[in-house]
Homo-oligomer: A and B are copies of this chain.
Amino acid sequence: MPVDFLITKTELALAYRSVRQMTNRLCQSLTPEDCCIQSMPDASPTRWHLAHTTWFFQTFVLANLSTTSENANSFRYLFNSYYNAVGDQFPRDQRGLLSRPTVAEVYGYRDEVDDAMYDLLENVGNLSPDLVALIVLGINHEQQHQELMLTDIKHAFSINPLKPIFRDDLFELTSETFDTDPTEYSLTNPSNWYEFSEGVYSVGVPSEKVAETSFCFDNERPAQRVFSNGYRIAKRLVTNREFLEFVLDDGYRDSRLWLAQGWDIVQRANRQTPIYWQQSDGQWREFTLAGMQVLQPDRPVSHVSYFEADAFARWAGKRLPTEFEWEIACCERSAEGTNFCDWLIAEGLAIHPRAEASVSSLMGNLWQWSSSSYAAYPGFSPAPGAVGEYNGKFMCNQYVLRGGSVATSGNHVRATYRNFFPTDTRWQFTGIRLAE
């Protein structure tokens, strides 16, 4: 997996430093206690993210360089996520049962590995293309975990009756996304849909494109041609107002709207709303990283599962787009679709208002469920070595999400990026875009 785009060693060092510092900044409002808890098997403690992203560089980049201390060596087992080729793993669902190493010790571990990396990036001679590729992968890997750190701590806080606040200077989405009459953006209005005609389209990242631009994951490649029927895709995401209509119309009580597995879960768990919604005193609220907040009707509905997205679409007489329909639309409308801004880097975590981006753009607000099961592109080949376990072995019983969310690193918000989660996932920043 030699890197196939141009990056100077200086650029690489800068990117490394920037991402590592951003991770640390992300956690600055958390106590040691916050960093320890794991609220469900799918989520991980903050401390684990801090250590695992470091472990990645230690294991895949620095392994043969004798730069790691004995202390760090003892973490080889503790912070391996799922790389069987590297060795056994501490059970995923027990990550919250460990109090040691402490958070401070994990920061020490980060510093130790950073020092070795800086030494590599600044003092050592030329790096092999393979090593550069691994470093770039590690940087992108850590950016993915930055988003997970936010979704995991949000879930952990949500089950605490005290409803802690992660940061109150941070709004997950701007509050004034539509300053006009809701009827204006009604989906019964044809002008609120993009339309595409049938034909053979190319999707994914072509080889030449990689070379000239930047990093992509192995699952975005190779580019492939797909035949698409003509279709229409909504210009905006479904809003809380619309989803509340579905709730009040007994959408969660009508078996005909649901896939069989989804209906089974709805009944067993007695689901009645999206995960973070609560109603009290006649007021709908939702739990956010800024604590409990009044539900904003004109924001996009968030934290819905594939089952909820699919049921809503059926109720609305529409459907979810395939991942290719989404990508085609995104490529064709890139001028309109990419006016998000990268809050994580540019704004030091404080999200600024981004009126256009929040609802009307295709990317950067919420991940959007596609109707496509996560699968390899024809000709897919995983990266060689242990890091090749990264994407391929999950290509089963998961669905593709597209678009990136407010918590996604800016350089991950691209037309070809394929996120994926199981169908009952609700703790990610996931929304709904309709097609027909």
- Give chain A's interface residues, CB within 8 Å of chain B: 31-39, 47, 74, 77-78, 82, 84-85, 90, 94, 96-103, 156-157, 159-162, 164, 200, 224-227, 229, 255-256, 258-263, 306, 310, 371-373, 375-376, 378-379, 389, 393-397, 423
**A39 to B, closest residue via Cβ:** B97
Give the distance to chain B from A339, nearest Cβ to Cβ, in Å: 31
Q: Which residue of B lies closest to A382 (CB)?
A: B256
Q: Given A84-B255, A397-B397, A423-B396, A37 and B36 touching (CB < 8 A)? A: yes
CB of A393 within 8 A of CB of B229, answer no
A96–B94 Cα gap in the complex (Å)? 11
Additional A-B contacts beyond A33-B103, A85-B255, A260-B393 (13; CB < 8 A): A33-B100, A33-B102, A36-B36, A36-B99, A84-B256, A99-B160, A99-B164, A100-B162, A226-B227, A227-B227, A229-B378, A373-B373, A397-B397
Q: Are B375 and A371 in contact (CB under 8 A)?
A: yes
- Nearest chain B residue, comparing its CB with the CB of A74: B162
Contact of A97 among B37, B229, B306 (CB under 8 A): B37
- CB of B37 within 8 A of CB of A99, answer yes
Check B393 against A259 for contact (C-beta < 8 Å): yes
A306 — nearest CB in chain B belongs to which residue?
A: B396
Listed by A's residue number, 22 A-B pairs whose Cβ atoms lie within 8 Å are: A32-B33, A33-B35, A33-B99, A33-B102, A78-B162, A82-B260, A84-B263, A90-B161, A96-B96, A96-B97, A97-B159, A98-B160, A99-B156, A99-B164, A200-B200, A256-B389, A259-B393, A259-B396, A260-B393, A261-B397, A262-B396, A263-B393
The smallest beta-carbon distance between A430 and chain B, in angstroms, is 16
Residue of B nearest to A83 (CB): B255
Instruction: Tell me whether A34 and B82 are in contact (CB under 8 A).
Output: no
- Could you tell me the distance between the alpha carbons of A414 and B35 in the complex, rounded to whole angstroms? 42
Shortest distance from the beta carbon of A165 to any chain B beta carbon, whole Å: 10
Q: Are B227 and A225 in contact (CB under 8 A)?
A: yes
Partner pick for A224 among B84, B229, B255, B379, CB 8 A cutoff: B229
Residues of chain B lying within 8 A (CB to CB) of residue A397: 261, 397, 423
Is B394 within 8 A of A161, CB to CB?
Answer: no
Residues of B with C-beta under 8 A to A82: 260
- Which residues of B lie under 8 Å from residue A31 when comparing CB positions? 32, 99-100, 102
A258 to B262, CA, bound (A): 27
Question: What is the distance, in angstroms, from A198's C-beta to the closest C-beta of chain B?
Answer: 8
A395 to B259, Cβ gap below 8 A?
yes
